[in-house]
């Protein structure tokens, strides 16, 4: 990887042991030729392995002996011209401890300078315009280094050697503060004034590393509520940034692993369990048991935690599922009426990138949204192969470019139905292909003809392959676990286009990237009005009731809803879509319990149902049945629905219904997997799909399956939701090019 300080590090080590030779980037990796006594050479190799800079990942070291030559120095060679250089652009990296110390040192020339960085930290991916990764080709090209900065930049022994965004108050980017109408305010210390504004309860639009955040004091209920009103975001939780680990410990339960994730160079948002008395405004994450927390990762952030502020709401400045706003004019245009002030700077963001979101479950940190800090670092594949591009899904879109053994997965793009997201996709797709010098031999898209990604793929002049949604989920899980051979895939999500015109989403697929057999699925249920039932779970509930009862029972959730026209649709069998979706089952049960009848964001009803259980699994399950119908096993849902209805009618609490419902799913899935294993002899189970973001279900199921002796493959490097789809698609594409693809059979 370039720009991670590996070459200067090697230079320093070689110089330390008085060795001679050179270091060079080549197409196959880094080449080091080093000459000296064998004991010193040994020490050199040891140090390389032990002390490599935090961002340099050594995949393998190969050594061979050569004849000695006459030379008297160790040099950093220029990359040999003409050869194809593997330039892995690093991700954007959180402020390092050295720079942090300088930032807060009144005697340092970069004291309180919000753009301080070095070879170990600072923006990377978001500022690269084109190759090679060199300052003139980054968004820093407009800033000419002063003598002092240039000296650091050119000195191999300096910790800013070849730090492309190197800058200081004399020569680098500057902050500016603008009022709500976009007029510049004349202030000497914009960060200090902003911090004071935040303390007063103002909403500030902050330009950060990958885009703008909207920020407000998270302890000021009135201010947080005002932000919700202005942003038109009713319920979706806001992420927060906390001053330091001590504040995190005060507000949240924190394990060692979570602590490590928070303070990692990637600095993601980690979903942490809230403490009951966290002292935060209740409107930050209403009804949720977890809070999305991150630590300050840009120097600017550190400067804001002044005036007694210790927790700030930091929500991506965008409109629902549009990409994060990245440029100054855009921000002024879009955030007018929301922000009371704008804290901007003149270092352009070339490629927008949201904050990454992670959660620690069942012994691993798991990506929910893989973006800043991780992108574009590759996910390593077991197999080499041709260049293939997987275009991803519709919601939570990412795309994946396979090159050699690297899967280069884009940042979170968002909802592709959105024009802004679509443009972002086009820009990022072209950019990633340029950065990695890779032109795909094949484009892989979802089978859904209405997906924007399918439409985009059809417009390109390249060979195409359409693959089934849940097949891609399974292939993604196998790929990130570097597993070859077949697995039993339990794929649970909201919506995926099936092979026979129905909507899938509760599937047991057996196979691998080459192809899958649909071994089992949920009993299909009618969804009146299709998408309308996704936004309004009460409609889904009526659909599920209509198939579970001969006469639809009268239940409290129907009060105040115009149910008659929907029941008529169901009776006349007009605009019905059949679905085996697990997400819809959650929605229906949530609605039956009187929870979310209408959702404001994807998965809201299912999340409310999970939260109602309070983290506790039921000890007994509802009735369910697994029956064989024409060669496929069907997990019957109607007995579950009937039991849930009986429970509602008997006044059983929502908490108890939810706990028993979760237990029912764990039992049913374990049973069906046992059947699949008996039928095939496979002892490997892959779990994929957005439903596995349900912590209660996920952890319990992993536990049960492991107890039963299965090897359970799960997602950690890419999201289990549709953000991980593109990886699976691309891997299936390689199987297709190799002539092995069979699809769903
Ligand atoms: Zn640094
Ligand atoms: Zn300077
Ligand atoms: Fe999906």
Which ligand places an atom closest to the C-alpha of 120? 1
Q: Say if CB 585 and CB 541 are below 8 A apart.
A: no
CA of 145 to the centre of ligand 2 (A): 5
145 and 216 together in one domain: no
Q: How far is CA 202 from CA 222, 312, 342, 460, in A?
A: 10, 11, 11, 46
Are residues 588 and 453 located together in one domain of the fold?
no
Helical axes 604-612 vs 582-592, angle rounded to 10°: 60
Q: What per-residue confidence (pLDDT) applies to 320?
A: 62
CATH number of the structural domain spanning residue 523: 3.30.420.40
Helix (H, G, I), strand (E, B) or coil at 85: coil
If you average pLDDT over residues 417-442, what whole number do you get?
Answer: 92
**531 band by pLDDT with thresholds 50, 70 and 90:** confident
Same domain for 218 and 158: no
User: Are 526 and 594 found together in one domain?
Assistant: yes
**pLDDT > 70? residue 79:** no
Same domain flag for 60 and 96 = no
Using the mean position of ligand 1's atoms as its centre, give its distance from the Cα of residue 296 in Å: 14
- Tell whether 354 is covered by a domain: no
What are the structure tokens assigned to 493, written together? 């999500």
Q: Which residue is associated with the tokens 């693809």?
A: 741
Q: Among 128, 148, 173, identify where a domain stops.
A: 173
Q: pLDDT digits over 153-191, tens only? A: 999 889 998 899 999 999 999 999 999 999 999 999 999
Task: Please report which ligand is nearest the Cα atom of 145.
Answer: 2
- Select the more confidently predicted residue: 311 or 156: 311
Flag whether pLDDT at 85 surpasses 70.
no
Supply the CATH number for residue 465's domain: 3.30.420.360
Ligand nearest to C-alpha 96: 1
Work out the average pLDDT over 369-381: 96
Final residue belonging to a domain, choices 328, 345, 362: 345
* The token pair that represents 193 in the structure block: 């004034």
Residues 137 and 204 in one domain: no
The mean pLDDT of 249-263, rounded to a whole number, is 98
* Ion ligand 2, residues whose Cβ is below 5 A away: 146, 149, 168, 170-171
CA distance 373 to 264: 9
Is residue 51 assigned to a domain? Answer: yes
> Among candidates 438, 219, 233, which has minimal Cα distance to 315?
233
Residue 200 carries which DSSP code? T
Establish if 378 belongs to a structural domain: no
Residues 329 and 196 in one domain: yes
Asked if residue 230 and residue 215 are part of one domain, the reply reads: yes
Tell me, in angstroms, the distance from the centre of ligand 3 to residue 111's CA.
48
138-156 pLDDT, tens digit per residue, is: 999 999 999 999 999 999 8
**Residue 69 scores a pLDDT above 70:** yes
In a domain, residue 351? The reply is no
Ligand 1 center to 22 CA (angstroms): 25
What does the pLDDT average to over 334-360? 96
| Average pLDDT, rounded, for the chain | 94
Please say if the pLDDT value at position 348 is more than 90. Answer: yes
Cα of 479 from ligand 3 centre, angstroms: 16
pLDDT band at 708 (very low <50, low <70, confident <90, very high): very high
Q: At a CB cut-off of 8 Å and minimum separation 6, what does 138 contact?
A: 127, 128, 129, 164, 165, 350
- Residue 324 near residue 250, CB atoms below 8 Å: no
Closest ligand to C-alpha of residue 97 is 1
pLDDT surpassing 70 at residue 254? yes
User: How far does the centroid of ligand 1 lie from the alpha carbon of residue 163, in Å?
Assistant: 9
User: In this structure, is residue 460 part of a structural domain?
Assistant: yes
Span from the CA of 689 to the centroid of ligand 3 (angstroms): 5
Residues 147, 199, single domain; the answer is no
Report pLDDT for 90: 87
Give me the mean pLDDT over the 545-550 stretch.
Answer: 97
pLDDT at 643 over 60: yes
Q: Which ligand is nearest to the CA of 150?
A: 2
What's the number of domains the chain is made of?
Answer: 5
Quote the pLDDT of residue 87: 61
Whether the CB-CB separation of 119 and 160 falls below 8 Å is answered with yes
Question: In this predicted structure, what is the pLDDT of residue 703?
Answer: 98
Instruction: Say if residue 134 is in the same domain as residue 179.
Output: no
What span, in angstroms and rounded, lies between the C-alpha atoms of 702 and 670? Answer: 10
CA distance 21 to 13: 12
Q: 303 pLDDT exceeds 70?
A: yes
- Name every residue whose Cβ is closer than 8 Å to that of residue 65 and which is 6 or more positions away in sequence: none
10-14, 126-130, 257-261, range with greatest mean pLDDT: 257-261
Tell me the whole-structure pTM to 2 decimals.
Answer: 0.94
Rounded to the nearest angstrom, the distance between the alpha carbon of 633 and the centre of ligand 1 is 56
pLDDT digits (tens, 9 = 90+) for 579-637: 999 999 999 999 999 998 889 988 999 999 999 999 999 999 999 999 999 899 999 99
- Which ligand gives the minimal distance to the CA of 152? 2
Distance of CA 553 to CAs 526, 541, 564, 648, Å?
Answer: 17, 11, 13, 11
Segment 456-472 shows an average pLDDT of 97
> Rounded to an integer, what distance in angstroms lies between the CA atom of residue 90 and that of residue 124?
6
| Residue 538: both structure tokens together | 């009460």
Take residue 85 and report the two structure tokens written for it. Answer: 């250089």
**Are 533 and 664 found together in one domain?**
yes
For residue 158, the enclosing domain spans 87-173
Contact 488, 673 (CB under 8 A): yes
- Collapsing DSSP to helix, strand or coil, 37 comes out as coil
Residue 321 placed within a domain? yes
Distance 391 CA to ligand 2 centre (A): 41
* Cα–Cα dist 137/350, whole Å: 11
> Does residue 368 fall inside a structural domain?
no
Q: Which ligand is nearest to the CA of 102?
A: 1
Is residue 574 within 8 Å of residue 565, measured between CB atoms?
no
Q: Give a yes or no: residue 417 inside a domain.
A: yes
Q: What is the CATH number of the domain that holds 13?
A: 3.30.70.100
| Ligand 2 centroid – CA 152 distance (Å) | 9
The span from the first CA to the last CA of the chain, in angstroms, equals 41
Tell me the CA–centroid distance for residue 103 and ligand 1, in Å. Answer: 10
Q: In angstroms, what is the span from residue 392 Cα to ligand 3's centroid?
A: 10
In this prediction, residue 28 carries a pLDDT of: 66
- How far is ligand 2, taken at its centre, from the CA of residue 56, in Å? 26
Residues 586 and 609 in one domain: yes
């Amino acid at each position: 990887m370039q720009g991670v300080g590996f070459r200067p590090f090697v230079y320093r080590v070689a110089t330390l042991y008085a060795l001679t030779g050179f270091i060079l980037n080549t197409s196959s990796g880094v080449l080091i030729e080093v000459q000296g006594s064998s004991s010193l050479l040994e020490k050199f190799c040891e140090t390389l392995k032990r002390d490599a800079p935090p961002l340099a990942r050594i995949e393998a070291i190969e050594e061979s002996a050569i004849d000695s030559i006459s030379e008297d120095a160790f040099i950093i060679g220029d990359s040999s011209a003409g050869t194809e250089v593997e330039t892995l652009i690093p991700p954007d990296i959180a402020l390092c401890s050295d720079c942090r110390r300088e930032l807060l040192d009144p005697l340092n020339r970069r004291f309180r300078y919000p753009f301080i960085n070095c070879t170990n930290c600072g923006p990377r991916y978001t500022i690269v315009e084109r190759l090679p990764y060199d300052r003139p080709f980054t968004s820093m090209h407009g800033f000419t280094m002063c003598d002092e900065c240039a000296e650091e930049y050119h000195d191999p022994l300096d910790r800013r050697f070849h730090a492309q965004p190197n800058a200081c108050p004399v020569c680098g980017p500057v902050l500016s503060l603008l009022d709500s109408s976009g007029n510049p305010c004349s202030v000497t210390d914009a960060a200090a004034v902003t911090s004071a504004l935040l303390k007063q309860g103002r909403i500030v639009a902050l330009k950060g590393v990958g885009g703008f955040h909207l920020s407000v004091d998270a302890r000021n209920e009135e201010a947080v509520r005002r932000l919700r009103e202005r942003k038109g975001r009713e319920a979706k939780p806001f992420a927060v940034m906390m001053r330091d680990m001590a504040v995190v410990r005060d507000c949240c339960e924190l394990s060692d692993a979570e602590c490590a994730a928070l303070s990692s160079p990637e600095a993601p948002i980690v979903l942490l369990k809230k403490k009951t008395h966290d002292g935060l405004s209740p409107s930050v994450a209403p009804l949720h048991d977890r809070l999305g927390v991150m630590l300050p990762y840009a120097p600017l952030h550190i400067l804001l935690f002044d005036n007694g502020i210790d927790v700030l709401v930091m929500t991506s400045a965008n409109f629902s599922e549009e990409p994060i706003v990245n440029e100054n004019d855009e921000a002024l245009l879009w955030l007018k009426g929301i922000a009371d002030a704008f804290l901007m700077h003149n270092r352009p963001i070339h490629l927008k990138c949201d904050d990454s979101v992670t959660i620690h479950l069942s012994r691993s940190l798991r990506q929910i949204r893989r973006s800043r800090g991780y992108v574009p670092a590759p996910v390593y594949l077991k197999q080499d192969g041709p260049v293939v591009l997987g275009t991803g899904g519709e919601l939570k879109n990412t795309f994946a470019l396979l090159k050699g053994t690297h899967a280069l997965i884009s940042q979170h793009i968002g909802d592709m139905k959105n024009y802004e997201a679509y443009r972002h996709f086009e820009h990022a797709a072209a950019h990633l292909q340029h950065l990695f010098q890779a032109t795909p031999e094949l484009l892989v898209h979802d089978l859904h003809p209405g997906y924007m990604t399918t439409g985009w793929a059809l417009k390109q002049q390249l060979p195409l392959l359409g693959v089934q949604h849940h097949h891609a989920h399974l292939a993604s899980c196998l790929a990130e676990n570097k597993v070859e051979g077949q697995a039993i895939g339990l794929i649970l999500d909201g919506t995926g286009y099936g092979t026979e015109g129905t909507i899938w989403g509760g599937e047991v697929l057996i196979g691998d990237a080459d192809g899958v057999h649909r071994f089992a699925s949920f009993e299909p249920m009618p969804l009146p009005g299709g998408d309308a039932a996704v936004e309004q779970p009460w409609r889904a509930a009526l659909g599920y009731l209509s198939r579970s009862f001969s006469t639809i029972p009268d239940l409290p959730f129907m009060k105040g809803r115009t149910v008659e026209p929907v029941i008529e649709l169901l009776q006349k069998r007009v605009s019905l879509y059949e679905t085996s979706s697990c997400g819809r089952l959650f929605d229906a049960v949530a609605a039956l319990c009187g929870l979310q009848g209408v959702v404001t964001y994807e998965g809201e009803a299912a999340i409310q149902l999970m939260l109602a259980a309070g983290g506790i699994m039921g000890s007994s399950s509802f009735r369910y049945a697994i029956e064989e119908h024409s060669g496929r096993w069907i997990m019957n849902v109607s007995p579950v629905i009937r039991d849930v209805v009986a429970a509602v009618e008997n006044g059983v609490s929502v908490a108890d219904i939810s706990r028993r419902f979760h237990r029912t799913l764990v039992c049913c899935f374990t049973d069906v997997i046992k059947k699949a294993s008996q039928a095939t002899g496979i002892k490997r189970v892959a779990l994929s799909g957005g439903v596995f973001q349900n912590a209660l279900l996920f952890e319990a199921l992993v536990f049960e399956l492991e107890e039963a002796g299965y090897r359970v493959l799960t997602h950690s490097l890419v999201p289990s939701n549709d953000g991980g789809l593109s990886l699976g698609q691309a891997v299936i594409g390689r199987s297709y090019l190799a002539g092995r693809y069979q699809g769903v059979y």
